[in-house]
Copies of this chain bind each other. A is one copy, B any other.
C-alpha cells in the first residue's frame, strides 16, 4: 500500500509529472510517517522474531478478543495472551476452540510455534512450589515459541544439595531461567554453578519484608555471581522472550 504511494511518486518523477525537488520534499516527510511502517511492521515479525503478546490485565474481555483477532489476521506467528482472568479465558476459548489455556500460567496460546526442531533447550529452575505460577508462565511461553523446556522445580537454596544434584541438567541447557521469591538466592547459586546465560525472575512469593518481590528483585540485581540478568517481578513471559531473542541468534 504505502510503498505503492512511493512507487507512484517515483513513476511520476520518471514521467516528468513531478519535479525532483518536489518529490524530494514529499519523501523527506513521508518516510518517517507512513512509508516505512508497513515495512517495519512486516520486518517486526521477521526480524525481531518476537511474538505479539496481549497483556490482558486492565483490558476488557472484548478488547482482548478484538486485539487477538487483529493479530491473527495481520501476523503469522504465535499470539499469546498473558495474565488472563477466568472471564477473559472463557470468552477467548469460546471464540477459538483450539486456543490452549494454561490456568496455572494464566496464559492463552493461539497458533503456537510448531517447528519440528526446537530453537534450543531452556531450563526453567524454580525455588519452590509457590513459585510455580511464574515458572509455568516462563515454560509455557517458551514452549509456545518453539523452545524445548526442562523443568527443575523445588530446588531452593535452603537445601543446596538439590541444585547440586541437577548440575548436569543445567549445563545441558542453552539458557537457564531461575524463578525464585523470598530472598531470591537461587539465582546467585545457579549463576555460580554454571557458565550458561542465567536469567533471574524474582517472584512476589513471600510475606512481610519480601515486599511483594522487592527483596528477591534487589537480591538478584546484586548477585555476586557475575553476569546474571534480571526481569521484572513475576515476569516469566519476559524471560522466555529474552530466551527467544538469544536462541534465534544461535540458530541463525
Contacts and interface: CB of A to CB of B under 8 A. Distances in A.
Contact of A226 (B31, B189, B238): B238
A118 interface: no
Interface in A201-240: 202, 204-235, 237-240
A117 B48 CA distance: 26
A13 interface: yes
Contact of A192 (B21, B49, B159, B165): B159
- Say how many copies of this protein the assembly contains: 8
Interface string A183-209: 111011101111111110010111111
A69 interface: no
A123 interface: no
A58 interface: yes
A178 to B, nearest CB: 12
A228 B221 contact: no
Interface in A121-135: 127-131, 133
Contacts of A168: 33
A30 B211 CA distance: 39
A245 B191 CA distance: 10
A72 B244 CA distance: 37
Interface residues of A, number: 121
A232 B226 contact: no
Contacts of A184: 183, 185, 219
A192 B189 CA distance: 13
A160 interface: yes
Interface of A: 3, 6-7, 10-11, 13-14, 16, 20-21, 23-24, 27-28, 30-37, 39-41, 44, 47-51, 53, 55, 57-59, 63, 67, 83, 127-131, 133, 156-162, 164-165, 167-168, 171, 174-175, 182-185, 187-189, 191-199, 202, 204-235, 237-246, 248-250
